C-alpha cells in the first residue's frame, strides 16, 4: 500500500474517531492537522507500520490539547481552530501529570489481575513477543496466547473503569 | 487472520509486543475497520505510558516476583522435610495400592489336570461285549510297579457268549488327526472287534487326565506318584467375544444361554488329548481328539464351541495320554471316572 493511499485512509479513520470525541467540524480539522504534520515533519515515514502509530499519537495529542484548552477556557462546545496549536510530541507538564495518574491507576489495577494475566503482562513489559511468551508459558499454540492476552487486556480495562485514561467517561 | 483474531492483537500494540507481520496485519485491518481503528486509537494512551522505561519497571515491580516454572518450583519444594515425608508417603501408598490391585486382580479360570497312571489291564476276550466293563476299582489304579504274577495256574475263564450280529457296536475313536465334533457314527461289529483288538494291544502305561479343580481330585493328585504327576495338562475356559474371538474368562464367571465356550489346553508333554462330551443318552461322545506338543496351546473344539440356548449343564471329559487311544469313547470315559469331568453350567 502506497503512502498516499495510507494517508487517505488514515484521514477517514481519524475524522471518524475524533468525531466520536469532539465536535464533527473540529474532528475534520484535527485529521487535517495530523496529515499536515505527517506531510511536513514526517514526510520520510512511508511504511504502514510506522505511519499508523505516528498518526494515532499525533491525533491523540491534538485531541488532548483541544480538551485541555476547552477546560481552561470553559468552552466545551466551541473551540476556534486558530487557538489549536500543533501538537508537541515532547512531554509537557500536563501530559506528565496525566501519565503519572494513569500509571498509578495501572499499578493498582495490575495488582488485582490473576496469576496468568500478571505473568503475561510481565513478559510483555519485558519486551517478549507473543511467540516467546508462548514458549515461556507453555501454551499449545500462539492463538491461545492471543486469547489469553485479549481477555487479560479486557480484564485490566474493566479494572480501570473501561478506559485507559481517567475522566473519559 | 480473521477479524476476531486481529482484534486479539490489540493488546500487543501498547506494549509493543507485536512482530512485524502481526503489526502489519493489525494496521491494515484498522485502516479498513473503523471500530478496530478506534480501539487502536484508545490503546495509544496506554502505549504512550508504556513507552517510558521507568513506567514499565514500576509496573513490573507492581506485578510481583516472576512465577517460576513448575519444575523449578517442585525442585525447591521437594528438599523440605515435610514435602519429602509427604512425597514418600504418597509413593508408599501408590506402591501398596498397586501391589494390592495386582494380588486381587481377576485371574482367568485355570485348572490343572494331573494324570493318574494306570497299570496295564488284561485284554478282554474278543467275544466279550463292550458294555461289560470291569469294576472301576479294579480298572483304575494309581501307578505302582505291577506285582509279579503268581505261577500257579488259574481257573479257566468261561467262554463268553457270541455277540449278536444285529447288535450295534459302540463307536471307535477315530485316528488322531481327524478331529471330530459332536460324536461318532456307529462303526459296526467289525469296528467293535477292531477296538477290542487295539485295546488289547495298548502299551503298558496309559494316562488319563483328571480335572484338578475339585478338592478331592487335588488331593488325589498330590497322592499320585511322581512318575505320573509329571504328566499334566492345564486348561482355561474361553468365552466367545462380540468380535468373534475367544478370550479367557475370570474364575467364577457365569455362562448364559447363547454363550460359546471353548477350552484352551496346555499340555506339559507331547501326547494325545481327547475331549469327550456326556450326552443326554448317558453315553460319551468324542468332541475332538488330536495329538499335542509340549508347552503349546490348543483350543478345543477347534471348530465352534460349546453352546446352549437354554439353561443346562454340559459335562465334558478331558483325556490326556502319551500314546494314541483307539478305544471307544465310553471305554475311555469309564477309565477316567467322574472326578475327571469338567462341568459348564449355563444359567
A88, B94, B111, B114, B126 from B218: Cα distances, Å: 104, 37, 10, 8, 37
d(CA B341, CA B318): 7
> What is the structure's pLDDT at B225?
39
The nearest CA of chain B is from the CA of A111 a distance in Å of: 6
Residue B120 has pLDDT above 70, yes or no: no
DSSP codes joined into one string, B164-175? PTTSPPPPPPPP
> What is the structure's pLDDT at B323?
81
A110, closest residue in chain B (CA to CA): B63
The nearest CA of chain A is from the CA of B310 a distance in Å of: 57
Nearest to B246 by CA among B307, B200, B317, B188: B307
Residue contact B59–A106, C-beta within 8 A: yes
Contacts of B46 in chain A (CB under 8 A): 102, 106, 164
Indicate the residue of B8, B37, B46 with minimum beta-carbon distance to A13. B37
The nearest CA of chain B is from the CA of A31 a distance in Å of: 13
Most confident by average pLDDT, A32-36, A65-69, B113-117: A32-36
Contacts of A107 in chain B (CB under 8 A): 58-59, 62
Alpha-helix runs per DSSP H in chain B: 3-7, 10-15, 20-32, 34-50, 53-62, 70-77, 81-103, 136-139, 188-200, 215-223, 226-229, 329-336
Residue contact B31–A118, C-beta within 8 A: no
Higher pLDDT, B231 or B129: B231
Q: Same domain, yes or no, for A108 and A42?
A: no
Most confident by average pLDDT, A9-13, A69-73, B187-191, B255-259: A9-13
Show the cell assigned to B91.
Answer: 509413593
Percent of chain B scoring above 70 in pLDDT: 58
Poorest-confidence range of A53-57, A124-128, B142-146, B200-204?
B200-204
pLDDT tens digits, B48-95: 888 888 888 888 888 887 766 666 667 766 667 787 888 889 999 999
- Averaged over B289-301, what is the pLDDT? 86
Q: Same domain, yes or no, for A100 and A54?
A: no
- Averaged over A155-166, what is the pLDDT? 86
> What is the structure's pLDDT at B106?
65
Q: Same domain, yes or no, for A70 and A98?
A: no
Q: Same domain, yes or no, for A118 and A137?
A: yes
> What is the structure's pLDDT at B207?
37
> What is the structure's pLDDT at B97?
92
Q: Same domain, yes or no, for A133 and A155?
A: yes
Poorest-confidence range of A107-111, B145-149, B259-263?
B145-149
- Averaged over A160-164, what is the pLDDT? 85
Most confident by average pLDDT, A28-37, A160-169, B130-139, B188-197: A28-37
Residue finishing a domain among A58, A83, A108: A83
B199-225 burial, b for 16+ CB within 10 Å, e for fewer? beebeebbbbbbbbbeeebbebbeebe
- The strand pairing partners of B238, in sequence order, are B248, B262
Classify residue A165: in a domain, yes or no: no
Residue finishing a domain among A19, A53, A83: A83
pLDDT tens digits, A53-109: 999 989 988 888 887 777 776 655 555 666 655 555 555 777 778 888 888 888 989
Classify residue A120: in a domain, yes or no: yes
Q: Same domain, yes or no, for A55 and A105?
A: no
Average pLDDT value for chain A: 83
Residue contact A107–B56, C-beta within 8 A: no
- Averaged over B3-19, what is the pLDDT? 87
CA dihedral sign, ordered B119, B285, B134, B223:
positive
Mark which residues 20-59 of A lie under 8 Å from B by CB. Answer: 20, 48-49, 52-53, 56-57, 59
Cβ neighbour number for residue A155 with a 10 Å cutoff: 15
Residue contact A164–B43, C-beta within 8 A: yes
Q: Same domain, yes or no, for A10 and A51?
A: yes
Mark which residues 58-117 of A lie under 8 Å from B by CB. Answer: 59-60, 99, 102-103, 106-107, 110-111, 113, 115
> What is the structure's pLDDT at B226?
38
Poorest-confidence range of A58-62, B198-202, B245-249?
B198-202
Residue contact B8–A115, C-beta within 8 A: no
Q: How many domains does chain A have?
A: 2
The nearest CA of chain A is from the CA of B292 a distance in Å of: 57
The nearest CA of chain A is from the CA of B87 a distance in Å of: 25
- Averaged over B136-154, what is the pLDDT? 45
Residue A99: CATH number of its domain: 1.10.10
The nearest CA of chain A is from the CA of B97 a distance in Å of: 33
Q: Who contacts B180 (Cβ-Cβ below 8 Å, separation ≥6)?
A: B174, B286, B287, B288, B289
Contacts of A16 in chain B (CB under 8 A): 34, 37-38
> What is the structure's pLDDT at A134?
92
Residue B209 has pLDDT above 70, yes or no: no
Residue contact B12–A150, C-beta within 8 A: no
> What is the structure's pLDDT at B311?
81
Indicate the residue of B5, B41, B47 with minimum beta-carbon distance to A146. B5
Contacts of A49 in chain B (CB under 8 A): 20, 23-24, 27
Q: Who contacts A4 (Cβ-Cβ below 8 Å, separation ≥6)?
A: none
Residue contact A124–B15, C-beta within 8 A: yes
Residue contact B52–A13, C-beta within 8 A: no
Q: Same domain, yes or no, for A67 and A112?
A: no
Most confident by average pLDDT, B21-35, B101-115, B259-273: B21-35
Indicate the residue of B12, B44, B55 with minimum beta-carbon distance to A60. B44
Q: Which domain holds residue A142?
A: 93-159
- Averaged over B22-38, what is the pLDDT? 90
Residue A32 has pLDDT above 60, yes or no: yes
Q: Same domain, yes or no, for A48 and A107?
A: no
Measure the CA dihedral B339/B344/B346/B347, to 10°: 50
Q: Who contacts B79 (Cβ-Cβ below 8 Å, separation ≥6)?
A: none
Most confident by average pLDDT, B142-156, B164-178, B313-327: B313-327
Residue B206 has pLDDT above 90, yes or no: no
Classify residue A168: in a domain, yes or no: no
- Averaged over A120-149, what is the pLDDT? 91
- The strand pairing partners of B298, in sequence order, are B265
Residue B39 has pLDDT above 50, yes or no: yes
B166-197 burial, b for 16+ CB within 10 Å, e for fewer? eeebbbbbeebeebbbeebeebeeebbbebbe
Quick one: pLDDT band at residue B204, thresholds 50, 70, 90?
very low
SS3 B140: coil
Q: Same domain, yes or no, for A101 and A132?
A: yes
d(CA B183, CA B202): 23
Average pLDDT value for chain B: 68
Residue contact B62–A49, C-beta within 8 A: no
Q: Same domain, yes or no, for A66 and A112?
A: no
Nearest to A147 by CA among A105, A168, A116: A116
Residue finishing a domain among A83, A115, A148: A83
Q: Same domain, yes or no, for A76 and A103?
A: no
Residue B168 has pLDDT above 80, yes or no: no
Contacts of A7 in chain B (CB under 8 A): none
Classify residue A88: in a domain, yes or no: no
A63 and A27 Cβ atoms separated by less than 8 Å: no
Residue B26 has pLDDT above 50, yes or no: yes
Quick one: pLDDT band at residue B237, thresholds 50, 70, 90?
confident
> What is the structure's pLDDT at B294?
84
Higher pLDDT, B96 or A22: B96
CA dihedral sign, ordered B231, B293, B248, B180:
negative
Percent of chain B scoring above 90 in pLDDT: 5
Quick one: pLDDT band at residue A146, thresholds 50, 70, 90?
very high
How wide is the angle at C-alpha B86 spanned by C-alphas B85 and B92, nearest 5°? 90
Cβ neighbour number for residue A10 with a 10 Å cutoff: 25
Amino acid at each position: 500500500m502506497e503512502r498516499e493511499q495510507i494517508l487517505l485512509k488514515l484521514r477517514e479513520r481519524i475524522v471518524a474517531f475524533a468525531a466520536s470525541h469532539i465536535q464533527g467540524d473540529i474532528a475534520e480539522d484535527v485529521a487535517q492537522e495530523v496529515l499536515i504534520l505527517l506531510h511536513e515533519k514526517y514526510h520520510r515515514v512511508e511504511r504502514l507500520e510506522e505511519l499508523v502509530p505516528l498518526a494515532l499519537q499525533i491525533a491523540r495529542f491534538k485531541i488532548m490539547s483541544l480538551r485541555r484548552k476547552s477546560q481552561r477556557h470553559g468552552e466545551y462546545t466551541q473551540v476556534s481552530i486558530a487557538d489549536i496549536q500543533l501538537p508537541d510530541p515532547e512531554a509537557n507538564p500536563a501530559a506528565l501529570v496525566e501519565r503519572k495518574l494513569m500509571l498509578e491507576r495501572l499499578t493498582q489495577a495490575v495488582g488485582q489481575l490473576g496469576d496468568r494475566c500478571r505473568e503475561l503482562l510481565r513478559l510483555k513489559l519485558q519486551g517478549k513477543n507473543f511467540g516467546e511468551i508462548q514458549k515461556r508459558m507453555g501454551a499449545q499454540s500462539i492463538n491461545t496466547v492471543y486469547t489469553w492476552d485479549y481477555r487479560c487486556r479486557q480484564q485490566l480495562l474493566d479494572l480501570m473503569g473501561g478506559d485507559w485514561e481517567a475522566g473519559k467517561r | 487472520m480473521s477479524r476476531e483474531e486481529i482484534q486479539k492483537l490489540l493488546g500487543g500494540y501498547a506494549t509493543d509486543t507485536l512482530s512485524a507481520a502481526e503489526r502489519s496485519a493489525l494496521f491494515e485491518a484498522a485502516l479498513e475497520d473503523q471500530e478496530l481503528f478506534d480501539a487502536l486509537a484508545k490503546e495509544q494512551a496506554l502505549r504512550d505510558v508504556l513507552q517510558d522505561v521507568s513506567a514499565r519497571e514500576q509496573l513490573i515491580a507492581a506485578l510481583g516476583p516472576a512465577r517460576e516454572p513448575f519444575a523449578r518450583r517442585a525442585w525447591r519444594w521437594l528438599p523440605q522435610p515435610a514435602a519429602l515425608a509427604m512425597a514418600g508417603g504418597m509413593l508408599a501408598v501408590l506402591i501398596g495400592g498397586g501391589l494390592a490391585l495386582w494380588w486381587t486382580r481377576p485371574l482367568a479360570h485355570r485348572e490343572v489336570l494331573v494324570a493318574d497312571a494306570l497299570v496295564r489291564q488284561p485284554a478282554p476276550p474278543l467275544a466279550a461285549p463292550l458294555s461289560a466293563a470291569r469294576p472301576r476299582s479294579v480298572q483304575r489304579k494309581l501307578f505302582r510297579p505291577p506285582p509279579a504274577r503268581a505261577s500257579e495256574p488259574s481257573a479257566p475263564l468261561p467262554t463268553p457268549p457270541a455277540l449278536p450280529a444285529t447288535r450295534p457296536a459302540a463307536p471307535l475313536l477315530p485316528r488322531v488327526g481327524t478331529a471330530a465334533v459332536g460324536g461318532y457314527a456307529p462303526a459296526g461289529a467289525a469296528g467293535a472287534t477292531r477296538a477290542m483288538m487295539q485295546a488289547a494291544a495298548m502299551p503298558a502305561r496309559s494316562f488319563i487326565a483328571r480335572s484338578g479343580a475339585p478338592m478331592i481330585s487335588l488331593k488325589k493328585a498330590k497322592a499320585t506318584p511322581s512318575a505320573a504327576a509329571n504328566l499334566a495338562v492345564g486348561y482355561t475356559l474361553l468365552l466367545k467375544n462380540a468380535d468373534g474371538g475367544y478370550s479367557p474368562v475370570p474364575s467364577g464367571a457365569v455362562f448364559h444361554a447363547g454363550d460359546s465356550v471353548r477350552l484352551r489346553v496346555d499340555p506339559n508333554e507331547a501326547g494325545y488329548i481327547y475331549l469327550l462330551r456326556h450326552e443326554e443318552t448317558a453315553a460319551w461322545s468324542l468332541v475332538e481328539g488330536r495329538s499335542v506338543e509340549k508347552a503349546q496351546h490348543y483350543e478345543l473344539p477347534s471348530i465352534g464351541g460349546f453352546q446352549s440356548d437354554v439353561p443346562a449343564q454340559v459335562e465334558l471329559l478331558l483325556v490326556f495320554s502319551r500314546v494314541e487311544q483307539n478305544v471307544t469313547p465310553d471305554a475311555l470315559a469309564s477309565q477316567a471316572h467322574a472326578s475327571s469331568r469338567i462341568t459348564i453350567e449355563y444359567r
